[in-house]
Copies of this chain bind each other. A is one copy, B any other.
Amino acid sequence: MKISTKGRYALRLMLDLAINNTGEYIPIKRIAERQEISEKYLEQIITQISRAGFVRSVRGSQGGYQLANPPEAYTVGMILRLMEGELSPVACLDEPGSCDRADRCVTVDIWRQIKDAVENVVDNITLADLVKSYHEKGNCEYFI
């Protein structure tokens, strides 16, 4: 029941962009420094994020990334799902027909409830909430 580092890194990356959301394009290198995450690994991650249209990118010198939308537009759930896929405790919930006896299954209700509970949390927290929390906690450069 763990969230992968990829998911967590993606969240930190997006939060970093949200905190530094000045209109300028921020290179991955800066984020890698601030977050102490491998630059190359972050590149892979932001590639996925970029393909999903969550960020704008400018190539070449002086290039970088910025949020495509205001921080309020991104829930934690959106970001985690991008890296992790559906936030289900079992595959059955997402692949229709993967369990052929779903109508008689006793445990699927549990998995459904877990999924709903998790989604209820992550879909109701936005990057804007995290930015606010960040400033309240004392402007520390680092977070996990």
- Where the two chains meet, the residues of A that have a C-beta atom closer than 8 Å to any C-beta of B are 1-3, 8, 11-12, 15, 76, 84, 87-92, 99, 101, 103-111, 113-114, 117-118, 120-122, 125, 130, 133-134, 137-138, 140, 142-144
Contacts and interface: CB of A to CB of B under 8 A. Distances in A.
Main secondary structure of the interface of A (DSSP, over half): helix
A113 B121 contact: yes
A15 B109 CA distance: 14
A144 B107 contact: yes
B1 A101 contact: no
Contacts of A103: 137
Given A8-B107, A89-B2, A101-B143, A120 B121 contact: no
A122 B120 CA distance: 16
